Structure 1
């Protein structure tokens, strides 16, 4: 017969930790809104608005990458970035070791963040030679800036493909495997899915975002102006 201490220990439920903390959810849905808004403003010629949306996206992605180092348990890279053997084993039917991103989904998310970062950065050196010149276009020689900017549209097209794959994956897990992915990204957790440890305070992510935004603003202020000859026709 188990002791009273053992029995009480068994009856104590495990803490109901949040799976996705507030910063992760806010950044996820902010990016969800920023991407179509950025596309639309570029198509309609609202270049100044497009630029600020791109800079906001840059701050959001960099903040998320920083949160991957110091954030809550399931937001950290060490929780979901696994070696090739683990990824292969997952595709062969092995269970995921974490309630967050599975081994394949973790690398997929990381690739998306890298593509978003590249998209935002190449936009800062983009120019159409008529109405728009990125804030950091004159940091480099025009040939270098133009070469970097040439990837801006290409990266966006690649992003569209990965976003489509992401949506299809969510539908697959929600409908066929009955694993709730959308609900935790809205409310933080769902039945059968909870975090492995306490969430970090959201204000820490806010501090990171403010610092990243402040550094970006400082760089914008330091960015070289167009040559004097470009002010005259």
Structure 2
């Protein structure tokens, strides 16, 4: 039986909270799988599968953005989105004030999520005029839809650059700065990298997923059908 002194030391020890909770980690690795799968299915002409992968990506990104407001401490935007002076100070050598994303990484992550969101949304108005027409292609005038669809490939090429930058940054911080980035994204935490507070219950993220999915299917049901003339060409 531990002594009173040992119990006092244990109670005085800081709580080692999760740095990255389950929703953050699952969404992170899911996006990593969805991007190459989406590219491959598009290249192979599996448009139906490509479309559902795009819907999954859309729900994943929207869930992560919602989690930025209601999630665990380090998942929230207020923890890692800083002003320009803080970002500049970080590049000049100032230390990050959070165990999560540093000031530069925070904005890089946000830009990546917004690009992914734009990629998924432009895919819903995409059309190849032969085998595939996105569910919301007819929401807009054809010129507007075609212009948005043209961005789909452009955004993907930009995303490739950001993914390459992300991988290079992880390697740099792991090897040169000796900061453990991969281990917390797998296990939730690593030695010296813990959260600043208790994690939110993962079921809350699941509720967000269900609500967003219901909204998506509702919008799909409400999407306008092709004009009658498009059936006869």
Same fold (TM over 0.5): yes
**Partner residue of 1:224?**
224
Measure the CA separation in 2 of the matches of 1:115 and 1:175: 28
Q: Which moved more, 1:119-128 or 1:10-19?
A: 10-19
Count of equivalent residues: 229
Gaps of 5+ in 1: none
Gaps of 5+ in 2: none
Q: With the length of structure 2 as denominator, give the TM-score of the two structures.
A: 0.96
**Partner residue of 1:33?**
33
What's the C-alpha RMSD, in Å, of the aligned pairs? 1.6
- 1:227 Cα deviation after fit: 0.8
**Partner residue of 1:130?**
130
**Partner residue of 1:208?**
208
User: After TM superposition, where is structure 1 displaced by more than 2 Å over at least 4 residues in a row?
Assistant: 8-11
Map 1:101-120 onto structure 2 (within 5 A).
Answer: 101-120=101-120
- 1:230 Cα deviation after fit: 1.3
Deviations 1:85-122 (A, max 9, x none): 10011111111000000000000000000000000000
SS in 2 for 1:183: helix
**Partner residue of 2:161?**
161
Measure the CA separation in 2 of the matches of 1:16 and 1:73: 13
SS in 2 for 1:99: coil
Measure the CA separation in 2 of the matches of 1:93 and 1:85: 12
Confirm whether residue 95 of structure 1 aligns to residue 95 of structure 2.
yes
- 1:154 Cα deviation after fit: 0.3
Measure the CA separation in 2 of the matches of 1:89 and 1:9: 37
Q: With the length of structure 1 as denominator, give the TM-score of the two structures.
A: 0.96
Deviations 1:36-93 (A, max 9, x none): 0000000000001000000110000000000000000000000000001100111111
- 1:229 Cα deviation after fit: 1.2
